[in-house]
Copies of this chain bind each other. A is one copy, B any other.
Amino acid sequence: MEKQGEHKTLAEQAAEELIDLIRRNSYGPGDKLPTEAELSERLGVGRNTVREALRLLVSRNIVTIRQGAGTFISEKQGVADDPFGFSMVEDRKKLNRDLIQVRVMLEPPIAALAAQNAGSQDIEKLEEILLEIEEMIEKRQDYSDKDIEFHQQIAICSHNSVMSNLVPVIGKGIAVFASEIKSVEYEQTRISHRAIFNAIRDRQAVEAQQAMYFHLLYNENRYLEEQKE
C-alpha cells in the first residue's frame, strides 16, 4: 500500500531532479539555489510543481526557505530530524537501553578511527568543545547539547561521512532521557572526556577506543543502576 517508485507524483519527480542538480553543481550548505522561475524553466515543469518539490526538499532538510531571501542549501545536508521515528516509540526505557547498546558498539571503533584519521583542524575543534564542556562542568551547568557535539566531532575526526551523520542522531535520542538520570557525574565526565581527547590528539587508536569504552560503559552502568532504584 506504500507509494512505490513507479507511482511518483510530478512534484516528487521534480524533487529528484533538483537533488541531481544540487549534486551535479556541488552546491554546499548555505549556497543559494536559482529562483523558482529559473528552476521551472530548467526542469521544464510549472512553478507550482517547483514550489511543491521545494517543499518536499524542505521536509527532508535538504533546502531551507528564508522568506524574502530565497531558497538555500540546508546546513543539515539532508539529514532528517528524528530519522528513525524515535518520537513515536512508546517504551522509552527500552529505547534508551537500545540506543546505549548501539553507542557501545559504534563509538569505541569510531574513536580509534578518529585517532588514526583526524586532521589538525579537526583536533583543534575537538579541543575547543572539550574546553567549553569543562567550563560548564566547573559551573555545574547542563552540558548535554555540548556533549552531543563532542561525540559528533569525534565522528567527524574519523573521516567517515556516515558516522558523522549517525552519531548525533543516536546521541540526541539518548538526550531525551537525560532527565531520567538523577545525578550528573560531572567529575567522571571531565576525566573521561580528557582521556578520549588526549588519546585522539596523540594518535593512540587503541587508547582512544578503550577510553571511549570506559566512558560509555560507566554511563551505561550508572543508568542501569538508577533504573533499578
Chain A residues at the B interface, C-beta cutoff of 8 Å: 1-3, 16, 19, 22-23, 26, 56, 59-62, 64, 66, 72, 74-80, 82-85, 87-90, 94-95, 98-99, 101-102, 105-106, 109-110, 113, 160-163, 165-166, 169-170, 173
Contacts and interface: CB of A to CB of B under 8 A. Distances in A.
A25 B102 CA distance: 28
5 contacts: A2-B74, A19-B88, A78-B87, A84-B166, A101-B162
Given A78-B87, A90-B26, A102 B166 contact: yes
B95 A161 contact: yes
Given A88-B77, A95-B162, A105 B102 contact: no
* Copies of this chain, count: 2
A84 B64 CA distance: 16
A61 B72 CA distance: 24
Given A3-B64, A23-B90, A80-B80, 8 more contacts: A23-B87, A56-B59, A59-B60, A83-B83, A84-B165, A101-B160, A102-B163, A105-B109
A26 B90 CA distance: 7
A197 B94 CA distance: 26
A66 B212 CA distance: 47
Contacts of A85: 60-62, 77-79, 165
A98 B79 CA distance: 16
Contact of A64 (B1, B95, B160, B169): B1
